[in-house]
Amino acid sequence: MKPFEPEWVFFEPEALNYPLGEELYRRYKGSGIPVRMTTSHNRVTGIPGRTEAEKYRNAKRTLVVGVRKTLQFDTSKPSAEYALPLATGCMGHCHYCYLQTTMGNRPYVRVYVNLEEIFAAARKYIRERAPAITRFEAACTSDPVGVEHITGSLKRAIEFMGRQELGRLRFVTKYSHVDSLLDADHRGHTHFRFSINADHVVKFFEPGTSPLSDRLEAAGKVARAGYPLGFIIAPLMIFDGWKEGYGRMLEELRDRLPPEAEEGLTFELITHRFTKAAKRVILKRYPKTRLEMDEERRKKKWGKYGRVKYVYRDAEMEALKDYMEEWIGRLFPSAKILYFT
Nearer to ligand SF4, 16 or 202 (CB): 202
What is the helix (H) or strand (E) element at residue 173, kind and residue range?
strand 167-173
Binding residues among 170-199 for ligand SF4 as defined by CB under 6 A: 174
What is the helix (H) or strand (E) element at residue 136, kind and residue range?
strand 134-137
The DSSP code for 73 is P
Distances (CA, A) of 62 to 146, 207, 324: 13, 17, 38
Nearest to 155 by CA among 91, 76, 225, 78: 225
Q: Does 97 bind ligand SF4 (CB under 6 A)?
A: yes
Give the nearest distance from C-beta 228 to ligand SF4 in angstroms.
Answer: 21
- What is the C-alpha separation between 229 and 254, in angstroms, rounded? 13
Q: Does 90 bind ligand SF4 (CB under 6 A)?
A: yes
Pick the piece of the chain touching ligand SF4 (CB under 6 A) from 89-97, 222-230, 236-244, 325-333: 89-97
Nearer to ligand SF4, 60 or 68 (CB): 60
Residue 274 makes CB contacts below 8 A (sequence gap 6+) with 96, 282, 293, 309, 310
Q: How many residues bind ligand SF4 (CB under 6 A)?
A: 8
- What is the C-alpha separation between 170 and 228, in angstroms, rounded? 10
Nearer to ligand SF4, 99 or 311 (CB): 99
Distances (CA, A) of 136 to 15, 75, 169, 180, 333: 24, 9, 5, 21, 28
Give the nearest distance from C-beta 248 to ligand SF4 in angstroms.
Answer: 22
Nearer to ligand SF4, 134 or 142 (CB): 142
Pick the piece of the chain touching ligand SF4 (CB under 6 A) from 77-85, 92-100, 112-120, 256-264: 92-100
Residue 6: count other Cβ atoms within 10 Å of its Cβ.
22
Nearer to ligand SF4, 126 or 293 (CB): 293
Q: Does 268 bind ligand SF4 (CB under 6 A)?
A: no
Give the nearest distance from C-beta 90 to ligand SF4 in angstroms.
Answer: 3
Binding residues among 195-214 for ligand SF4 as defined by CB under 6 A: 209
Nearer to ligand SF4, 97 or 257 (CB): 97
3 state SS of 169: strand
Give the nearest distance from C-beta 174 to ligand SF4 in angstroms.
Answer: 4
Binding region for ligand SF4 (CB under 6 A): 90, 92, 94, 97, 99, 143, 174, 209
